[in-house]
Structure 1
């Protein structure tokens, strides 16, 4: 039976294939598909390299490294799309990343974990903190849109300035959330890790750990054993190489996006909300589901919820600021339907996770919500102009 590592290693063959497809002009659809498949294993290698470096760097710097690179693949794709002027697609990918992590990833984790274990638990205190953070994210992307729709004659520059100010607030909040998870309340997460490591040896039910932005990746197995420290220079090289290759493949993906999606009969909105987030986050999604099936729902939620918070509090604000410097104005004035989707995702996720327990039916509810939203985005009219 093929393991996740075997499958991801096999997908590396699409790196040279996608480059060949571009230079030999095999067609935009072929380039789009092969580049997307090539990004999947490269994103996994970036995540692995980050975790290995974090082991050597120590808990504080390692946590900061994970918090910064947790969504590096999505950020790279979005930056290249933003540089190409595909602002509407970038906004859609932000929406898709948030609802994908909250509904698709958490839904699969709760469903598959719940089929093996009748009821799984995680820390409700941290779930409530995360719920408040996600509520803030909804407010942050709602208000610029509300100002635009309720003010007659307001110009784009004013909305841009408001978005930049809001982005600054969100980045500050993100930094404070890292301080919370790594310093002032680090014991919440450390207790969870210690309990999980002990459970691996005893077979007991895992005690919940924190699901915070700094914990966006589960602890590496090396932290629980006396194995030699990873080769720092080797993994730095892997991280740099994977990042460069992701940037190259993202360039190919974005360049072929308009023609390929047109041939597939997909709108820019559906592509940004559904396809791009799955491509950028597939490896991380697999990790969340795998650990949930090992009865480590706390770590599974740390991947899903932590990634959503990174997108809302860090990646989106960075893209707003980057667009300003690039001369490609990007604001937080989202499509009203995207706002509805994010609000629905946050609402149902908060209601399900509030009690600190999960089962397979709750997973089904989250997946059903994602399916309904996916269908709505599929049938939603195309955004005027993909750029």
Structure 2
């Protein structure tokens, strides 16, 4: 049995443990840790079910499913946190997910894949397209903060309206990227998937049971939503007890919990010498967060009366910009090796340390 299967089955025991921890009041830290661990196998099952349904439904529907459920765990956690009014943590989780996918996931993939294969190749055109789109997303994230820093005073209502406008534009851009990748230029994205299916032909001797995997998809989604309620309910008290700021919690801890499935998939295929798919998973997940998850959170937040906007902390903006620039530079030539993986991981470590020591004063302006 693979490590992924062991993890997805073994860690399910933490679901009843986390429920007991909450009901029996074992303390915020115990609830926080057990709920976080419980979310990991549910996220893996959610990702696996999406992949299996995609095998049956074909590339177009499968691509849409991946677009909808690819970052469902992060979206669910963020929605629950937003409902509870933890806007600072939600904003930080958006930037943290982008940073972790570009630096941590790609770094681990290039490092572990590079240790097995001297040099790995992937399609530079896909990396360039994703990089260009990420640049737009970063520009959209930078603009509201720039408006405030270059003005003597901006009304909160103006920032909300600007954020809503940008959110609608980003969602439209994401829809067009789906059209590009699934329809007009789908041939650019087919190589990685074909290689993966060929390499795992032994795992899919017959077509997956569609009804079974749709059921798993629904159950995993409900499970993630349920555990997210427990997790978010304890996150403030637990992290405060550990001396962690909302900024560090959102940027570092939440992406580690919600992005477990993407990490496993990207590293697994990289170690099978399929860097095309590994890079697509890492960069595609960042795009999904920047172009769809963040705008949706803005619109939902304004609809439910939570002051969610795109006015990110200036340091978050700088960190995301650094991550995008470095990821673009390293992926530009369509080749990777273990040293490039080390460079990405080193950048992530340095940024993580900076977020840890960043004071909470003036964390975010809503």
- TM-score normalised by the chain length of structure 1: 0.91
Q: Does 1:357 find its partner at 2:353?
A: no
Query: 1:211: which partner in 2?
Result: none
User: What residue in structure 2 maps to residue 79 of structure 1?
Assistant: 79
* Structure 1 unmatched runs, 5+: 201-220
Partner residue of 1:11? Answer: 11
In terms of mean alpha carbon deviation, does 227-236 or 182-191 score higher? 227-236
Q: Which moved more, 1:258-267 or 1:89-98?
A: 258-267
Cα RMSD after superposing both structures: 1.7
Q: Which residue of 2 aligns with 1:337?
A: 315
* Separation in structure 1 between the aligned mates of residue 146 and residue 206 of structure 2, nearest angstrom: 54
**CA distances 1:273-295 after superposition (whole Å, capped 9, x unpaired):** 00000000112202111111111
Taking the aligned partners of 1:195 and 1:229, their CA distance within structure 2 comes to 18
Check 1:118–1:143 CA distance in 2 against 1; reply closer, same or farther (3 A cut): same
The 2-side partners of 1:189 and 1:98 are apart by 21
Q: Tell me, in whole angstroms, the C-alpha distance in 1 between the residues paired with 2:168 and 2:81.
A: 22
Q: Structure 1 residues 329 and 283, CA, compared in 2 at 3 Å: closer, same or farther?
A: same
Distance 2:227 2:277 in 1: 30
Distance 1:172 1:18 in 2: 39
Whole-angstrom distance in 2 between the partners of 1:53 and 1:194: 16
TM-score (ref. length: structure 2): 0.96
| 8 Å Cα contact 1:46-1:243 kept in structure 2 | yes
- Within 5 A, what are the aligned runs for 1:182-197? 182-195=182-195, 197=197
Partner Cα distance (1:8, 1:154) in 2: 48
CA 197–84 in structure 1, closer or farther in 2 if over 3 Å, else same: closer
Give the number of equivalent residue pairs.
365
- What whole-Å deviation, never above 9, does each CA across 1:314-342 have from its counterpart, x for those lacking one? 10001001101111021000000000100
Match of 1:325 among 303, 313, 317: 303
Distance 1:234 1:157, change over 3 A: same
Match of 1:250 in 2: 228
Local SS of the residue matching 1:376: helix
Q: Which string of whole-angstrom CA distances, capped at 9 and with x for unpartnered residues, describes residues 203-253 of structure 1? A: xxxxxxxxxxxxxxxxxx46x987332222221211111111111111111
- CA deviations on 1:188-207 (whole Å, 9 max, x unpaired) are 12244345555x4xxxxxxx
